[in-house]
Amino acid sequence: MSEQPPSTSDQPRWLTTAERETWQQFAMVLHRLPAALGAQLQRDAQLSYVEYYVLAGLSDQPGHRMRMSDLAVLANSEQSRLSHMISRLERRGFVRREPDPANGRYTQAILTDAGHAHLTEAAPGHVAQVRDLVFDVLDPAELGTLRTAAEKIGEMIDRQEQRAACKGTASQP
């Protein structure tokens, strides 16, 4: 079944031809899907892909508010980069910042009514694009396999991040 013998600890485990072809297709989707979704959002709502998901993330929170540090994690963004994005969204009237009432050392981003209205207008076009590009081209069994694969990959990423965090903590004086 495998095209190569198992590796020893001093040799890399090279991808088989099938694995390499699968990886190339998957990597291309990882690159092209956000670009395709972002192009639709920019054209129809004047929002970037990440801006949309920041607004959507805020809309899912109680009071439409979230600490900036937590929002950076949600957006997979550095805090400084997120801060610049929030500034742009503030200028458009979509969000505002306030000190966290529970702990004034933190800042919360809050989705405004205008931001919520803009998100509500943008959502149907975005969902249609997601449906066109992903859900309508896969049958139910393929969707189940995609979900399972995404969950497994996400769990492995989480485990590696936890191991790396533990190593970082253990190596500190």
pTM for this structure? 0.82
Q: What is the DSSP string of the chain?
A: --SSPPPPTTS--PPPHHHHHHHHHHHHHHHHHHHHHHHHHHHHHS--HHHHHHHHHHHTSGGGEEEHHHHHHHTT--HHHHHHHHHHHHHTTSEEEEE-TT-TTSEEEEE-HHHHHHHHHHHHHHHHHHHHHTGGGS-HHHHHHHHHHHHHHHHHHHHHHHHHHHHHHHT--
* Per-residue tens of pLDDT for the chain, all 173 residues: 455 555 556 889 999 999 999 999 999 999 999 999 999 999 999 999 999 999 999 999 999 999 999 999 999 889 999 999 999 999 999 999 999 999 989 999 999 999 999 999 999 999 999 999 999 999 999 999 999 999 999 999 999 989 988 887 655 55
